[in-house]
Amino acid sequence: MDYFINVILPIPLEKSFTYAITKAEADFLKPGIRVSVPFGKSKIYTALVIEIHTNAPLVYEAKEIHQILDEVPIVTTEQLKHWTWISNYYMCTLGEVMRAALPSAFILESETVISKNDEVRLNDEDLKDDEFIVYEALHHQSSLKIQDLMAILDKKNVLPVIKRLLEKNVISVQEEIYEKYKPKLVRYVKLGTNYSSEKSLQNLMEDLSRAPKQRDVVMTLFSVSAQTKKPVKVSDLSLESGASSSIIKTLIDKSILEEYHIQTDRVQYDGGDNEASKHLNEHQNKALSNISESFENQNITLLHGVTSSGKTEVYVKLIEAQLNVNKQVLYLLPEIALTTQLVERLQNYFGEKVAVFHSKYSSHERVEVWNNVLHNAPTAQVILGARSSVLLPFQNLGLIIVDEEHESSYKQFDPAPRYHARDTAIVLASIFNSKTLLGSATPSLESYYNAKQGKYGLVELNHRYNNVLMPDIELVDIKDKHKRKRMQGHFSDRLIEEMRETLKNNHQIILFQNRRGFSPIVECQTCGHSPQCPNCDVSLTFHQYRNQLRCHYCGYHTVMPKTCDACGSVELDSKGFGTEQVEQEAKLLFPDHNVARMDLDTTRGKYGYEKIITALEQGEIDILVGTQMLTKGLDFRNVKLVGIMNADNMLNFPDFRAHERSYQLMAQVSGRAGRTEERGKVLIQTYNPYHKILQQVSTNNYQQMFEEQLDERHIYKYPPVFRMIKITLKHKDYNRVNIGADWYARSLRTVFDAHVLGPEYPPVARIRNQYLKHILVKIPQKQSLSKTKEAIIKINNSFLSVKDFRAIRVILNVDNY
Ligand code: ADP
Ligand code: ZN
Ligand code: ZN
């Protein structure tokens, strides 16, 4: 009898591919084991076995595999089930799912570039002959493609050698190398070296008798270090002495105090004793028991808990319960980089049981986490990760927590699979017969709707921890302020007043502006021309710091012109404003305070986020200006005032989710204010204070927002009432996209009739010199989703069989966000 395997190849093939194997191989192989296989004329790939059978393929002759790469499966049968669901649901190939799931070191192919690991010290005898040849070759050339090695070793079958070298950590596959972890630099102070003698100290205290506040700080430093016998943090000193950071800074400037930094490691656990979890208050306890009750007859439960209600502590109890029965827990977060605070908190409780999975980790680290999860290692019991961690090889998954479930970054935009991690997590949990808890202060309309429909359980937690009041939210009418000349730049008199008060009390301020750069658009006062990106249909944004115009879509940049390109006039003026301008104005208004900025531009570099978050925690920043990065679950004790500079540009964004998103953003950023005893204050500046979303934000009325928005989604047939598939056509030739899109939409209309929208140009119709056109298919609840997709695939296949259209890229996006 002849034996065959079906494999997934890491390329977008519609079907799995069949290879011939021997009887012995058939006995050995199992689904989830990798094999190296030839493909096409001369390519080799790592392929993953999904089925072993005896049916020869009908239309081609099966080639033989080169070699088996694993002793045991590295992908579980649960994963294969999960991948199949993802590929069906999100209309992509299994190869694409596999590429997203497996660390790149697992998928070797002819094109893979490998290089030598310099840190590794080797003895010659550590390597087998063929390994040594590769190692030698990499001495002469810093990187080589695997296909080059086929020539060097003079054989096709080179993947096993590569695999062994990877396991010995002698080589690495090339990819962007990211930071392994981001050390947190904490600021400490000690007494300046000039004051080590009794005598000099006495003199100092006498000198300082005229500066009692400074004297107090020095006294406090003595008493704190005497008590704790440990280095003293600037933040502790400021807290204990009640002195502002500027007083401490003065002492440092006068060399009375000396500052130094100690690097503390955030991601890697230092092995200290674990903290006991906190005692829940009555509201948290109630929520916890409601969740457990809900799980008795629901697989999915939504925890709707206001900001700072202590949801995390509730999750901690649920995690403990799972660990007690030896189950793994997956804790999903929107973006790991922004949530080091949470990572730290969970590590304090669960110590080395916590594994952090970062899509930006190097491949080697990802392989490590992968293997630990796969082997159900003690170090991988609580897996904390962003989107792609739903693709890990769980063994014994008991619970998934999706924190901040409303976050749109859970949806992968590009490339395929364009999956939503929340929905994908729910399916993963069901494969393990386990539960999913979704948590948010501002749930997505989708999840709240599902809860209201009884599809999910719903638990509410309406009290902030410690009964801290919800922040007091005030709407400031800047149209009126402008009229009455009460604005200084983009700051209303109310905002300035509140800022002054807050700073006087040594509290911190967050200013939110949902745009980076200085001012989004530069416009000529004479002719109205504004500089455009040459690659995209979008105006360039002025970045004052670099004196550049930049495109936020493709990265194009050029120096800011002195005169208008169109008419030569020097009267170039700016319209709208971004974070950079807010920062600059705040510095002018409050020259004695430290102003910092957190946006894509300031966090790009090494330790970008860390530096800013730590500086704010340590009280080195008084005013932090930022974009929506600020909304993500940060917990700053001392922030008492949040200013939203302009609510209108988010509300007016052309997207059916704009109002929902604006509510979520503003409610979340407001939630950063006053997370301890004192009530926080939020000022929202707007031209339209009667906008219903702003009214709902200011009264914290999620219910009303939900109902009104849901009504609109009913009327306009949008999710969650209708499902949606977005089809994007992309090509550098404008006409071809137009003709193709018309053809595509016409074909869709023959099936779906009025539920097809478009084709339409998106707001930015050309990106990186590619023209885009969208078509939307809306799917009523009663219509079968799988039949709908079948029909679309059929149309898609006929589309791609038209010669003129073949070069057009078609992107299918299910549940587009
Ligand atoms: P949420 O996730 O709902 O925004 P958090 O879990 O971050 O809220 O809690 C807000 C703050 O209250 C945190 O600093 C947390 O440490 C504290 N906190 C919450 N619950 C408790 C508790 N039961 N005991 C002590 N502190 C708590
Ligand atoms: Zn001009
Ligand atoms: Zn551009």
Helix, strand, coil tally for the chain in percent (to 5): 40, 25, 35
Write down the CATH superfamily of domain 282-464: P-loop containing nucleotide triphosphate hydrolases (3.40.50.300)
Q: Say what the pLDDT of residue 92 is.
A: 95
DSSP state of 569: -
Over residues 775-816, the pLDDT tens digits come to 999 999 999 999 999 999 999 999 999 999 999 999 999 998
The residue whose CA is least distant from atom 24 of ligand 1 is 278
- Residue 539 Ramachandran class (φ > 0 left, ψ -120 to 50 alpha, else beta): beta
Closest atom of ligand 1 to CA, residue 279: 23
Other Cβ atoms within 10 Å of 487 Cβ, number: 17
Pocket test for ligand 1, best of 284, 306, 313, 437 (most atoms within 8 A of CB): 313
Which ligand is the nearest neighbour of the Cα of 523? 2
Q: Are 186 and 260 in contact (CB under 8 A)?
A: no
Q: Where are the alpha helices (DSSP H) in 518-657?
A: 579-589, 608-617, 648-651
Pocket test for ligand 1, best of 275, 279, 283, 308 (most atoms within 8 A of CB): 308
Which ligand is the nearest neighbour of the Cα of 550? 3
Q: Where are the alpha helices (DSSP H) in 652-784?
A: 658-670, 692-698, 702-716, 734-752
The residue whose CA is least distant from atom 5 of ligand 1 is 310
How many Å lie between the centroid of ligand 1 and the Cα of residue 315?
Answer: 11
Class of domain 472-516+578-712: alpha beta
DSSP state of 530: -
The residue whose CA is least distant from atom 21 of ligand 1 is 310
Taking the domain 3-108, which CATH number applies? 3.40.1440.60
124 exposed, middle or buried (CB, 10 Å; 0-12, 13-18, 19+)?
A: exposed
282-464 shares its CATH topology with 723-814: no
How many Å lie between the centroid of ligand 2 and the Cα of residue 521?
Answer: 14
The residue whose CA is least distant from atom 13 of ligand 1 is 310
How many Å lie between the centroid of ligand 1 and the Cα of residue 464?
Answer: 8
How many Å lie between the centroid of ligand 3 and the Cα of residue 762?
Answer: 15
The three-class DSSP label of residue 789 is helix
Architecture of the structural domain at 723-814: 2-Layer Sandwich (3.30)
Closest atom of ligand 1 to CA, residue 307: 4
Distance between CA atoms of residues 128 and 135, nearest Å: 10
Which ligand is the nearest neighbour of the Cα of 571? 2
Report phi then psi at 220, rounded to 5.
-60, -40
Q: Are 550 and 544 in contact (CB under 8 A)?
A: no
How many Å lie between the centroid of ligand 3 and the Cα of residue 268?
Answer: 39
524 marked as part of a ligand binding site: yes
How many Å lie between the centroid of ligand 3 and the Cα of residue 125?
Answer: 53
How many Å lie between the centroid of ligand 2 and the Cα of residue 671?
Answer: 44
The residue whose CA is least distant from atom 23 of ligand 1 is 280
Which ligand is the nearest neighbour of the Cα of 568? 2
DSSP state of 420: B
Distance between CA atoms of residues 359 and 422, nearest Å: 16
Pocket test for ligand 1, best of 304, 467, 635 (most atoms within 8 A of CB): 635
Closest atom of ligand 1 to CA, residue 633: 4
Ligand 1 binding site (Cβ under 6 Å of any ligand atom): 278-281, 284, 305, 307-313, 465, 635, 675
Enter the tokens of residue 513.
Answer: 């502006």
Pocket test for ligand 1, best of 312, 343, 463 (most atoms within 8 A of CB): 312
Q: Are 290 and 317 in contact (CB under 8 A)?
A: no
Q: Say what the pLDDT of residue 336 is.
A: 66
Over residues 45-70, the pLDDT tens digits come to 899 999 999 999 988 999 999 889 88
Closest CA to 613 of 626, 676, 601: 626
The residue whose CA is least distant from atom 14 of ligand 1 is 635
Q: Which residues of the chain have pLDDT under 70?
A: 119, 124, 174-185, 229, 262-273, 336-339, 359-363, 516-519, 604-607, 632-635, 675, 817
Q: Which residue is listed with tokens 């609510």? A: 647
Closest atom of ligand 1 to CA, residue 312: 6
Closest CA to 778 of 716, 729, 730, 710: 716
Other Cβ atoms within 10 Å of 253 Cβ, number: 9
Q: Say what the pLDDT of residue 181 is.
A: 35
Q: Give the start-to-end residue ranges of the domains of the chain.
A: 3-108, 120-170, 193-255, 282-464, 472-516+578-712, 519-576, 723-814
92 marked as part of a ligand binding site: no
Q: Are 732 and 783 in contact (CB under 8 A)?
A: no
533 marked as part of a ligand binding site: yes
The three-class DSSP label of residue 303 is strand
Which ligand is the nearest neighbour of the Cα of 537? 3
Q: Say what the pLDDT of residue 329 is.
A: 98
Q: Say what the pLDDT of residue 360 is.
A: 61
